[in-house]
Amino acid sequence: MKLSDINAIENLLKNAGFSFKKSLGQNFLIDDSVCPAMASAACDDDTGVIEIGPGIGVLTTELSKRAKKVVAIELDERLKKILPVTLADCENVEVIYGDAMKLDLKRLITEKFSDCSGVCVCANLPYYITSPIIMSLLESELPIKNITVMVQLEAAKRLCAEVGSRESGAVTVAVNYYADAEILFEVGKESFLPSPKVDSAVISLKIRNKPPVNVSDKSKFFKLIKACFAQRRKTLVNTVSNTLGIDKDVIRNALQELGLSETVRSEQLTMQQLADLSERI
């Protein structure tokens, strides 16, 4: 069965009495070219893959062809009627029914992928949890090589922006701290069933061996970053002072020491300048 064929999918779903749940971000891929490209970018034949949200298995089957092993985590138990059929020929795939946000992925990696040379994450992510999932994958410092995921185009631009550019935000800095991020290709809304309101993009996050900047207190650094971008229309001095309750003069002095104007906005600072600021405040 061709899982990207819209008629085949509609028949399959109808026979199983399946209806899409918007609350689970269920927009299934119906474009032939997307899943092979995603799977090729994500893994090779010695890699173990964690897929989040296999849906009816369209990306899973492509990952199965290219990876050593695939563990797919699906929250919607109604797909128990469909996935065993669509993945019948994929012997290296295991489906776990549960919430990817709640599973202990470190343990899963140890238990399932000890025979693989590396592990990666590949998914067409449910959009309602894009940033929380990506941040939790990065912050938990899992032993993974890369994350290749489909996200909404606007989110892709923010996640992969250059720190210090207009598009950057707190999530850009956080992603950049852990990974080298790039947009691989864009995918139009017509490539999904049902079609969402906006276009998407596949992004690649290659996990860094070490962060691009040294900070003595990581949690303090990230607290400052959140504050820097909390009120985007305000200057850095105002948003940090308002959010963290720090005296404006302390922030002004720190900026002055770094040779930065007191009217500077957070999105104008580079990664190194943000790290230096965190050491001074």
Residues that bind ligand SAM (CB under 6 A): 24-29, 52-55, 58-59, 73-76, 99-101, 124, 126, 129
Give CA–CA dist 187/28, Å, rounded.
Answer: 13
* CA atoms of 232 and 238, how far apart (whole Å): 10
Which C-beta is closer to ligand SAM: that of 99 or that of 190? Answer: 99
Q: At residue 95, what are phi and psi to the nearest 5 degrees?
A: -105, 130
Q: Which residue is nearest to ligand SAM (CB)?
A: 53
Name which of 6 and 101 has its Cβ closer to ligand SAM: 101
Give 61 or 273: the residue with its C-beta nearer to ligand SAM: 61
Q: Are 35 and 59 in contact (CB under 8 A)?
A: yes
Q: Which is nearer to ligand SAM, 101 or 263 (CB)?
A: 101
Q: Are 122 and 42 in contact (CB under 8 A)?
A: yes
Distances (CA, A) of 61 to 2, 12, 146, 275: 10, 16, 19, 43
Q: Specify the residue, 54 or 169, whose C-beta has the smaller distance to ligand SAM.
A: 54
Q: Smaller CB distance to ligand SAM: residue 22 or 280?
A: 22
Residue 114: CB partners within 8 Å, gap ≥ 6?
none
| Shortest Å distance, C-beta 5 to ligand SAM | 13
Phi then psi for residue 151, to 5 deg, are -140, 170
Quote the CA–CA distance of 17 and 161 in Å, as a whole number. 42
CB of 92 to ligand SAM, least distance (A): 17
- Taking the complex as a whole, the smallest distance from the CB of residue 117 to ligand SAM amounts, in Å, to 24
Whole-number Å distance between alpha carbons of 153 and 107: 32
Distance, CA of 200 to CA of 153 (rounded, Å) = 4
Answer whether 196's CB lies under 8 Å from 27's CB. Answer: yes
Closest CA to 20 of 60, 78, 62, 59: 78
Nearer to ligand SAM, 128 or 256 (CB): 128
